[in-house]
Chains A and B, each alone.
Chain A
């Protein structure tokens, strides 16, 4: 079973703060890394898919980077807003025929 770890487990920031969290995975097995956003009482929604070492993706105030050699990805949120409150999941696809293995998520709460 692959070990996909996310840290921190939870995070509480003030509106306007910038924040980041980490997804770690075995660097020896890599095909793609996904980030999903999961709001309370809703279903997970895809944010980014990254496949190449050094990939950077951006969507509005949210961006992600990927380092496959050392086995980690960072998700950044610039100027957090209350609507950013959600659990952010990363998921590893280790090979072409493999299924996604999800981390346990980082729960972000943004308050006014």
Chain B
């Protein structure tokens, strides 16, 4: 089934630990995004990638890093997790960045709890 997969579905993590959230899409979309969703704050963009080999910072990038080695995969890494990174993380993709309207397709989300 075409779409976006995320792993893990949920995770409880001790503060200070390193964690990588995985995201894979099979739609051959150029652009990919990571959002976090917190109560009352809506979806906030962490990092994005317009095409393989490039990445950019979103609204809330601190404490997170990403890489885009190929079209399909866009992992998000928390180098040293802190409790404020407890959130639900959504990966998304869109066909064309820039002048396109950027309709985005979302993955199922990863619920992360940092203790």
Cα–Cα, bound, A91→B59 (Å) = 14
Cα–Cα, bound, A105→B43 (Å) = 9
Chain A residues near B35 (CB, 8 Å)? 102
Cα–Cα, bound, A61→B44 (Å) = 29
Chain B residues near A89 (CB, 8 Å)? 42-43
Chain B residues numbered 63-115 whose CB sits less than 8 Å from any CB in chain A? 90, 97-99, 101-109
Chain A residues near B90 (CB, 8 Å)? 43-44
- Residues A34 and B101 in contact, CB atoms below 8 Å apart: yes
1/0 contact trace for A48-65 toward B, CB 8 Å? Answer: 010100000000000000
- Residues A99 and B102 in contact, CB atoms below 8 Å apart: yes
Interface size on A, residues (CB 8 A): 23
Cβ distance A80 to chain B, nearest Cβ, rounded Å: 23
Chain B residues numbered 16-65 whose CB sits less than 8 Å from any CB in chain A? 33, 35, 40-45, 48, 58-59
- Residues A32 and B101 in contact, CB atoms below 8 Å apart: yes
Please name the residue on chain B nearest to A90 by beta carbon: B42
Chain A residues with a Cβ under 8 A of chain B = 1, 31-32, 34, 42-46, 49, 51, 89, 91, 93, 96-97, 99-105
Can you name 21 A-B pairs with beta carbons within 8 Å? A31-B101, A43-B106, A43-B108, A44-B90, A44-B104, A44-B106, A49-B103, A89-B42, A91-B43, A93-B101, A96-B98, A99-B33, A99-B58, A100-B45, A101-B45, A101-B59, A102-B42, A102-B43, A104-B40, A104-B41, A104-B42
